[in-house]
Structures are given as C-alpha cells and as structure tokens.
Amino acid sequence: GAGVSQSPSNKVTEKGKDVELRCDPISGHTALYWYRQRLGQGLEFLIYFQGNSAPDKSGLPSDRFSAERTGESVSTLTIQRTQQEDSAVYLCASSLRDANTEAFFGQGTRLTVV
C-alpha cells in the first residue's frame, strides 16, 4: 500500500493476556518508530529501528514490552501480561534514512485492556 498500515485498528484484551500489534511501513523506508499515546496525551517514544543497526529500545517501559523487525519490513510490538495502564493508542511511523525526511504515521492501534 501507499501508506503505513497498522493492524488491528482496535484490540480489546483481558488483563494478563499477551497482545501483538503489527506495523507495515512504507516500502523502502529504513527507519521505523513505535510510540504510545494515552488519551489526550503526547507521543511517548517506545522503540526505534534504523536499517540493520541495533534498535534503540530506551523507551520501552518494562520488560513486558518487546518489538521486532525483520530487515526493513514488517515490525511487531508485543505486550506480555497486559495491564490496564497499557491501554492506549500505539502509533507506528516510518521514514527514509535521511534526518530531514518526513515520518509517515499509521492510523494506530487502539488497545483497551479490561
């Protein structure tokens, strides 16, 4: 597709269950970002992938959170043993390698933990 695609768009899960969120970046984009946005709040950085370099995981809030990316393609964000405070919109973005390039965002996955 032409844009960044995220799935599912909405996810309701029970507390304690694991969830997996998917992001399909724009083809050719080497950089991929995950952010968390709580209701009415700003974008909280989670993790950043750039090509084949080691990812910047400094934003992951706990060891329940992990993310993978194979090469320059799809990324999955996994949250284990979900808690109610994990409820948020999870946004993915991708961009070209150069620092001045625009980051294109997906529509996000709204996660609700009940």
Partner 1 sequence: AQTVTQSQPEMSVQEAETVTLSCTYDTSESDYYLFWYKQPPSRQMILVIRQEAYKQQNATENRFSVNFQKAAKSFSLKISDSQLGDAAMYFCAYRSNYGGSQGNLIFGKGTKLSVKP
Q: Which residues bind partner 1 (CB under 8 A)?
A: 31, 33, 35, 41-43, 45, 48, 50, 56, 89, 91, 93, 95, 97-103, 105, 107-108
Closer CB to partner 1, 77 or 93, in the complex: 93
- Residue 51 makes CB contacts below 8 A (sequence gap 6+) with 30, 31, 72, 97
CB of 58 to partner 1, least distance (A): 8
Give the whole-angstrom CA distance, residue 74 versus residue 24. Answer: 5
Cβ 44 to partner 1 shortest distance, Å: 8
Rounded CA separation 101/11 (Å): 31
Contact 110, 9 (CB under 8 A): yes
Q: Which CB, 15 or 97, lies closer to partner 1? A: 97
C-beta of 81: minimal distance to partner 1 in Å? 27
Beta pairing class for 31-37 and 88-95: antiparallel
**C-beta of 105: minimal distance to partner 1 in Å?**
4
